């Protein structure tokens, strides 16, 4: 047993989220429910997690086919939902962002500046979503063989042939029991379950006589009661989403989990919970095309993108544990790296002989929220606060900024010792939960909050053992210390900066250690709570700009979406010019709240199923089913164990299953 760290975005206290127009993708006629109302949080229990939005009760579009057609489908010894496939591409989707969860207007400033209590008591129920595939399905196996046959022998993206791939597609009935577990534990907090699964071309035996060629078969679990009109278990509704529904350029069945992840930005969904392991770091350099194998090639490729945009650094490994994602931030990621994500979606297989690795949307997602937070903090101080409307950074501004960090003018270097903070004091956290109407988690512990700065400053390539503590019981010699060199951080190649955006780019991206230490100094300057030292003055306003976007009440504050920081324009008018908000401080507060998070530790139990049964402190279980031998015996043991733990069937299950 060891500790594993993960980063959940702060959901408690949570706030209401504004609505932003998003043009829906082309309408698909299909035999299932669709999404309509957004929820606040998503938890992945089996595969990847996201929160679906917009479920439409569309009984008028139920398919009209005979029982004989279903009997024909049953010859494949699997269950399917036929649906009409409508091609759509990236041009059919509105690229505008949707909002992330916002704090109420009346307390947002006090929350950010002074660490005051701020939350919206009306929290929407979460949706729970699974990605799933039945690897023993005949149609899936045939589609996989067909896809493999279409690669030339010298194609670097041809799939590897190994027994390991078959193991990765094996179905051990995890989906059914994971859903039963969610019903037993999350029913008061959820109203919708969603399953994302594969789909296949219509077999020749079903074409013409039963379904037209444009239709496809969507895979569903064999235990699903397909005779039921509604899949509802008391207050929880079940919905199916197939890959053809979300891929912007869909050629055929995909077997690449990274490709599926890459299209999550096209879902109508909400949510956020992130996890990673501090003990393993991923480097910023591009991995060779033929190594490393497995997920490391993908993570390396993903960190190349992050480093090009936010500054080169090692970043923590993302664990194979429950993950949560936000549609709003997925859309932001999709807008920032559209070509890389489209490339991942074009590869039907994850494990290839060579070629560049596919980026991992979920690896990027975990780090994106943290890096956007850091970027917003430094932008707020350099551009929003000191640069002002004119983007000026002269000698006087540099002197003021240096003194604000704690230095004396003329001092070559400034040593910054972190200060004590009350953000995560146990009594304060407990009171915060109580006042907001929630019970404090008893199986996890908060280790770092975005309200205390930037966590990766304390997770370097060769020093990443644990997160720092700033609470009052921390010994003084355990508080982190960093150094700011005036020449390294306030000048570039011997020249002083004349523009605030130039200073910002330098400390944020070109020389990221400067920005890390600046953040530590400003957190200390803000006192025991809040981030006042970062924030622009309350009286800084842009001139009123007329036009369509200035009147748009649903705009989403965000910094530039360019792939490379060198190509982005960060001055106040560029980032706020289309906003209805003219007050720089108010806009910055909404920007910062978009990327809040906390770092949390949980016990990571590794061992036999019997030991897990006796481990009463476990709050969530993640099983790695990559069984190398004796798979039939292991499957029988595992299925029996699951049935003992979660034996109560859901209403949407066939009673004979």
Lowest mean pLDDT of 53-62, 246-255, 383-392, 507-516, name the range: 53-62
- Tens digit of pLDDT for each residue in 151-210? 667 766 566 664 345 555 567 788 899 899 989 888 888 888 988 887 777 777 666 656
Lowest mean pLDDT of 298-302, 493-497, 517-521, name the range: 298-302
CA gap 68, 52 in Å, rounded: 33
> What pLDDT does 552 receive?
54
Which position has the token pair 């995890």?
174
Which position has the token pair 């983007």?
391
CA gap 413, 139 in Å, rounded: 66
Asked whether the predicted pLDDT for residue 520 surpasses 70, the reply is yes
> Structure tokens of 615?
């481990």
Q: Are 317 and 283 in contact (CB under 8 A)?
A: no
**Alpha helices, DSSP H only, in 478-566?**
486-490, 500-505, 512-525
Number of CB atoms found within 10 A of residue 584's CB: 25
Percentage of residues in the chain having pLDDT higher than 90: 31
- For residue 286, give every residue at least 6 positions away whose Cβ sits within 8 Å of its Cβ, in sequence order, or none: 300, 301, 304
| The total number of residues written for the chain in this structure | 657
* CA nearest to 506, candidates 563, 441, 566, 550: 566
Predicted model pTM: 0.71
> What pLDDT does 487 receive?
97
- Tens digit of pLDDT for each residue in 107-147? 999 999 999 988 877 776 777 878 887 777 777 777 777 76
Show me where the domains of the chain are located.
2-368+601-645, 372-420+473-597
CA gap 270, 272 in Å, rounded: 7
Query: What mean pLDDT comes out for the span 491-496?
Result: 94
**3-state SS track over 156-168:** CCCECCCHHHHHH
Burial 596-608 (b: 16+ CB within 10 A, else e): bbbbbbbebeeee
The mean pLDDT value of the chain amounts to 73
CA gap 125, 187 in Å, rounded: 10
Q: How confident is the model at residue 227 (pLDDT cuts 50, 70, 90)?
A: confident
CA gap 584, 576 in Å, rounded: 8
- Tens digit of pLDDT for each residue in 33-86? 333 223 333 333 333 322 222 222 333 333 333 333 443 344 445 677 777 766
Burial 445-471 (b: 16+ CB within 10 A, else e): ebbbbbbbbbbbbbbeeeebeebbbbe
CA gap 52, 127 in Å, rounded: 6
Asked whether the predicted pLDDT for residue 415 surpasses 80, the reply is yes
408 CB-contact burial (10 Å; exposed 0-12 / middle 13-18 / buried 19+)? exposed
Q: Are 418 and 524 in contact (CB under 8 A)?
A: yes
At 282, which helix (H) or strand (E)?
Answer: strand 277-282
> Structure tokens of 242?
């197939």
Q: Using alpha carbons only, how large is the chain's radius of gyration in Å?
A: 26
Does 495 or 146 have the greater pLDDT score?
495
- Tens digit of pLDDT for each residue in 590-642? 999 999 888 776 554 444 555 566 555 555 666 655 666 667 777 788 888 88
Asked whether the predicted pLDDT for residue 321 surpasses 70, the reply is no
Does 526 or 41 have the greater pLDDT score?
526
- Give the torsion sign (CA, 305, 311, 316, 322): negative
Asked whether the predicted pLDDT for residue 361 surpasses 90, the reply is no
> What pLDDT does 429 receive?
84
> What pLDDT does 470 receive?
94
3-state secondary structure at position 340: helix
> What pLDDT does 467 receive?
82
CA gap 372, 329 in Å, rounded: 10
Q: How confident is the model at residue 363 (pLDDT cuts 50, 70, 90)?
A: confident
């Amino acid at each position: 047993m060891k500790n594993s760290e993960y980063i959940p975005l702060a959901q408690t206290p949570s706030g209401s989220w504004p609505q932003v127009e998003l043009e829906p993708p082309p309408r698909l006629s299909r035999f299932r429910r669709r999404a309509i109302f957004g929820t606040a949080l998503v938890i992945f229990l089996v595969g990847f997690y996201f929160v679906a939005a917009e479920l439409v009760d569309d009984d008028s579009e139920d398919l009209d086919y005979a029982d004989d057609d279903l009997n024909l489908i049953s010859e494949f010894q699997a269950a399917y939902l036929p649906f009409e496939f409508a091609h759509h591409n990236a041009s059919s989707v509105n690229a505008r962002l949707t909002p992330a969860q916002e704090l109420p207007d009346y307390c947002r400033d006090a929350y950010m500046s002074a660490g005051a209590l701020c939350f919206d008591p009306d929290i929407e129920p979460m949706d729970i979503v699974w990605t799933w595939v039945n690897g023993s399905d005949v149609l899936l196996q045939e589609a996989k063989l067909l896809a493999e046959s279409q690669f030339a022998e010298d194609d670097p993206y041809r799939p590897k042939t190994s027994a390991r791939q078959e193991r990765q597609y094996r179905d051990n009935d995890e989906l059914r029991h994971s859903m039963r577990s969610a019903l037993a534990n999350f029913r008061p907090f959820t109203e919708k379950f969603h399953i994302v699964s594969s789909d296949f071309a219509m077999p020749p035996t079903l074409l013409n006589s039963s379904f037209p060629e444009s239709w496809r078969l969507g895979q569903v679990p064999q235990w699903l009661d397909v005779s039921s009109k509604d899949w509802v278990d008391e207050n929880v509704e079940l919905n199916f989403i197939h890959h053809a529904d979300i891929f912007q350029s869909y050629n055929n069945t995909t077997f690449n989990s990274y490709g599926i992840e890459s299209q999550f930005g096209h879902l109508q969904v909400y949510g956020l919970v992130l996890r990673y392991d501090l003990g393993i770091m991923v480097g910023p350099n591009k991995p060779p095309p033929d190594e490393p194998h497995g997920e490391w090639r993908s993570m390396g490729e993903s960190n190349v993108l992050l480093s090009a945009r936010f500054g080169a650094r090692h970043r923590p490994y993302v664990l194979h544990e429950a993950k949560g994602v936000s549609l709003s931030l997925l859309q932001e990621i999709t807008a920032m790296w559209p070509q890389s994500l489209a490339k991942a979606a074009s590869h039907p297989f994850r494990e290839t002989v060579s070629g560049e690795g596919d980026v991992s949307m979920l690896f990027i997602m975990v780090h994106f929220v943290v890096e956007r937070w850091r970027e917003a903090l430094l932008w707020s101080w350099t551009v929003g606060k000191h640069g002002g409307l004119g983007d000026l950074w002269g000698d006087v501004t540099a002197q003021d900024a240096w003194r604000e960090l704690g230095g004396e003018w003329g001092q070559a270097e400034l040593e910054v010792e972190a200060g004590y903070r009350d953000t995560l004091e146990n009594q304060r956290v407990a009171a915060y939960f109580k006042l907001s109407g929630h019970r404090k988690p008893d199986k996890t512990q908060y280790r770092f909050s975005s309200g205390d700065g930037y966590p990766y400053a304390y997770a370097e390539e060769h020093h990443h053992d644990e997160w720092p503590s700033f609470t009052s019981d921390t010994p003084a010699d355990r508080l982190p210390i960093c150094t700011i060199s005036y020449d390294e951080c306030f000048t570039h190649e011997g020249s002083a900066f004349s523009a605030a955006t130039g200073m910002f780019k330098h400390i944020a991206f070109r020389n990221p250690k400067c920005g890390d230490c600046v953040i530590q100094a400003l957190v200390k300057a803000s006192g025991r709570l809040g981030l006042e030292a970062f924030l622009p003055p309350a009286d800084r306003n842009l001139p009123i700009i007329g036009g369509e976007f200035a009147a748009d009440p649903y705009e989403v504050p965000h910094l530039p979406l360019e792939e490379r920081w060198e190509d982005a324009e960060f001055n106040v008018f560029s980032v706020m010019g289309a906003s209805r908000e003219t007050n720089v401080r108010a806009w910055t507060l909404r920007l910062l709240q978009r990327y809040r998070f906390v770092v949390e530790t949980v016990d990571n139990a590794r061992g036999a199923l019997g030991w897990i049964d006796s481990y009463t402190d476990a709050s969530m279980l993640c099983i790695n089913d990559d069984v190398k031998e004796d798979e039939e015996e292991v499957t029988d043991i595992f299925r029996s164990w699951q049935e003992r733990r979660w034996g109560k069937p859901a209403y949407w299950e066939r009673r004979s299953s």
